[in-house]
Homo-oligomer: A and B are copies of this chain.
Amino acid sequence: MVEHQEKDSGIRPVRADARRNIETILRAAAEVFDTSGVEAPVKLIADKAGVGVGTLYRHFPHRPDLIKAIIQKEVDACAKAALDFAASEQPVEALAKWMQRLVDLVATKRGLGAALHSGNAAYQSLPEYVFSRLTPVLRDLLDAAEAAGSIRRDVNAKELLIACMRVATPASEGDIVQARRMVALMVDGLRFTELNECDNEQRSSTNAIRR
C-alpha cells in the first residue's frame, strides 16, 4: 500500500491524482494528530484533506499505516542523530544525549507513544518499524559505552528502548521535563555499580541479560 513507484514489471504507475491525494491526506493527518491526538476520527482527517473517507481508506487501510507514514521520517532522523553524538561526545555522553533525543521524538509526536504501546494487533507494523530502526542504534551506543568501561555490560537494548519510550510518552500529567529526568535516571542506573566498579555481578536488584 502507498506504492509511489511502479514495480519493474509491467504494472502501471500510481495515478497522478492518487499521488496528490496521498500527500494531501498525510499533511492533513499530521495536523489533526497534533491537534486532537492519534485517536481522532478518520472523518476529520478526510474532511480536512477535502477527500472522501473511501479515498482515505484506499490508501491507508489501517490507522497505523497513516501514523507510520508520518512518523517514519522523524524516526529516521532520530536514528541518524546517534551518529553525530557518537562522533562528537564521550560514549556515555553520546548515549545520554541520544536518549534525550529519543524523549523529544516520543514527546513531540503526540500519540506515537500511545500507538506504540497500545498492544492492539492492528497496530503491529508501527512498533515493528520503530524498534527495528532504533534498536541497533541504541545497541551501538551501548557497546561503545561498555567498551569504554563507563556502564555495565548486561543491558538488553530493545528492552531499554521500550522502557524509555514508555517513560517518555506524554500524558495529561507530566511534561517533557519529567520524562527527561526519568530517562536520565535510567542512564544513571546503567552507570551504577555497587562499588563503582563495572562488571561485578551479584547485584541485589538486577538480573539483566544482553541482546
Residues of A whose CB lies within 8 Å of any CB of B are: 93, 96, 100, 114, 117, 119, 121, 127, 155-156, 159-160, 162-163, 166-167, 169, 171-174, 178, 180-182, 184-192, 195-196, 203-209
Given A181-B208, A188-B205: 17 more A-B contacts, CB < 8 Å: A96-B204, A117-B169, A119-B171, A121-B172, A127-B173, A162-B174, A166-B169, A167-B167, A181-B206, A181-B207, A184-B206, A184-B207, A185-B189, A185-B208, A187-B189, A189-B192, A195-B196
A113 CB to closest chain B CB (Å) equals 9
Contact B159 A178 (CB under 8 A): yes
A-B contact pairs, 6 of them (CB 8 A): A100-B205, A121-B172, A155-B185, A162-B173, A162-B174, A187-B189
Of all chain B residues, which has the CB nearest A123? B172
Cross-chain contact B184 with A186 (CB below 8 angstroms)? no
Selected from B172, B196, B205, the residue in CB contact (under 8 A) with A96 is B205
Are B182 and A160 in contact, with the CB atoms below 8 A? Answer: yes
User: Could you tell me if A192 and B181 are in contact, using CB atoms closer than 8 angstroms?
Assistant: no
A204 to B182, CA, bound (A): 14
Whether the Cβ atoms of B163 and A182 lie closer than 8 Å is yes
C-alpha spacing A204/B127, complex, angstroms: 31
**A192 contacts B188, CB within 8 Å?**
yes
Q: Is the CB of A159 within 8 A of B174?
A: yes
A151 → B minimal CB distance (Å): 10
Q: How far is the CB of A192 from chain B (nearest CB, A)?
A: 4
Considering residues A100, A156, A205, which has the most beta carbons from chain B within 10 angstroms of its beta carbon? A205
